[in-house]
Chain A
């Protein structure tokens, strides 16, 4: 069912390999093109950081340390993926950090208060997490306010609600233990177990992280929806004008962040059993940092799903590497900031070099 007027008049042999070259645009070399990909700068920065800590900190070299770094990176990285997709789509979600805690609290409180199998709590938490995402998205498309503002509001609401609701039901700032309830052990196996590889215990979140990253990359680069994400973030009005369902795309992206928050929340719940209601505050910026280091533009329309994976890995390496290297802990945050800035600068420099014409 193709356009009827076109084929009749198009020039012959469109598949001819020797189609005349214009000379106006020269084919960029493979290395140039590779270097222009959003994640290459992050990869180079990651290699640099790894080599640096390898040299500077002896314990860093062990396999167990790598597993440890990967664990921290994965818990952050699983959230960085949907946050990055949302950023490519042109929006921010500042409530992502506390949404993780909200879903963990929901599952825990629901199961405990109603004395139900924890799996019901898990399902209810998913519904709540998706609802929060849908709410953020709906509010955005309805009001047209900047997402920064809207999600700042929902961040504050969730932060307050986390504490107040927990206090209301448990009388404490943390939830009650659910480790002796039905379904807990099963759920722990699913969300918080370990897999031994070559004598090293690797947490299951690392595997989930990599699988989700692959799925996100495929979604972004190989599906229609991915094209819509780029368009919505690159130029929303243009996208709408050519028939891209911008509203649907944005709400769907916010709901994906919600789903990510649910998953990480479940991991935290079944890993640590009790949930501190004040957790998660401040993490939303870490997700954004991972996405930006990974090459996603803050203004949207450009980025990848592999980038945030590398960004999260860099973050994990830096925060643990500082400890392995036994640097003065009082300077911890300052070191973290410096190394993240350096990583971002390397990324920027590589991208500039690649796209210079």
Chain B
């Protein structure tokens, strides 16, 4: 290819393009929305404790990038900042790997471990090792039936299954007859547990619908298809806030009269709840679960306190959010902590 005759017109074109881009960028601000419009929110910034620095490891079974777990982590981080705690967070949806991570924390000689017992059997031996090493262990989110037996100090939260059961009861209250439970990651322990819980208490017909959570247009189409397949569906239950919003679009597309209810909140959903597009949302208060776990370990270290008397779990939910009370939650949701 000859190099001599091309560059001049090409270079000229490049320069004009760059200039045009610069001009466009300069003149194109948005009058509404955007970061400018966002309220400046700090975290719940309290003071900082003057107790000696301690290290707490939190090991969950979260899959990376899951909103729900992010809230747990945020709560934990807030408590850590307040209590002068160094928080070491790690996660793996694979139970064997999760157990390894706990072992890792033991080797680091942390002052406290907060762990989720999604698959209690997998964690049994490593929890025992932690206890032998003298490290206090608290449980959160998963393992409501096993924490006591394994000798955990405290337990915060509630099982997904229990949340599902409460959800099912609420559906009964509202007179629902036929619901679908949209699982966006087939085989995920927490999601499957929620749907199983709903199925247990719900008196009407409850079917699962598997969708591909990493492909939102596919989620939309699949829910649409299901609504077409069974026009007697009156409730679409989703297991995550983004999927609830998508379900609203699907219901609209399919011309169905079904209502949408979901687990978990986010700030985008607030408008939808207010307007009634989403009937209600269950808030397990993951922020609280994370916060309490870290704070509890700090309390135990500094003052030997622990809640529940070693007997009872500390329940953090579920809290039902619907049109009536969403306004109160809205501003917290806007901060990304509810």
Q: Interface residues of A toward B: which range?
A: 35 or more
Q: Would B210 and A329 count as touching, CB distance under 8 A?
A: yes
A120 interface hit (Cβ, 8 Å): yes
B316 interface hit (Cβ, 8 Å): no
Q: Would A117 and B66 count as touching, CB distance under 8 A?
A: no
CA–CA, A97 to B249, complex, Å? 23
Q: Would A177 and B222 count as touching, CB distance under 8 A?
A: no
Q: Which of B34-42, B94-102, B144-152, B164-172 contacts A (4 or more CB under 8 A)?
A: B34-42
Which chain A residues numbered 294 to 314 have a C-beta less than 8 Å away from chain B? none
CA–CA, A5 to B229, complex, Å? 72
Query: Would you give the 0/1 interface string for A139-177, flagging 1 where the beta carbon is closer than 8 Å to chain B?
Result: 000000000000000000000000100000011111011
Q: Would B34 and A181 count as touching, CB distance under 8 A?
A: yes
CB distance from B124 to the nearest CB of A (A): 28
Q: Would B228 and A65 count as touching, CB distance under 8 A?
A: yes
CA–CA, A76 to B226, complex, Å? 20
Q: Would B214 and A280 count as touching, CB distance under 8 A?
A: yes
Given contacts A115-B36, A118-B30, contact A59 B209 (CB under 8 A): no
CB distance from B249 to the nearest CB of A (A): 8
CB distance from B98 to the nearest CB of A (A): 19
Q: Would A172 and B70 count as touching, CB distance under 8 A?
A: yes
CA–CA, A273 to B242, complex, Å? 10
Q: Would B210 and A68 count as touching, CB distance under 8 A?
A: no
Given contacts A113-B35, A178-B33, A330-B210, contact A64 B228 (CB under 8 A): yes
Q: Would A115 and B29 count as touching, CB distance under 8 A?
A: yes
A337 interface hit (Cβ, 8 Å): no
Binding site for B on A (CB under 8 A): 57, 59, 62, 64-65, 68-69, 71-72, 75-76, 97, 111-120, 123, 163, 170-174, 176-184, 201, 245, 267-268, 271-274, 276-283, 286, 316, 319-320, 323-326, 329-330, 332-333
14 contacts between A and B (CB under 8 A): A57-B229, A68-B221, A113-B34, A115-B35, A115-B37, A123-B21, A163-B65, A173-B70, A276-B242, A282-B214, A286-B215, A319-B221, A323-B222, A332-B186
Binding site for A on B (CB under 8 A): 1, 21, 24-25, 28-38, 63-67, 70, 74, 186, 207-210, 212, 214-218, 220-222, 224-226, 228-230, 242, 245-246, 249, 253-255, 266-268, 336
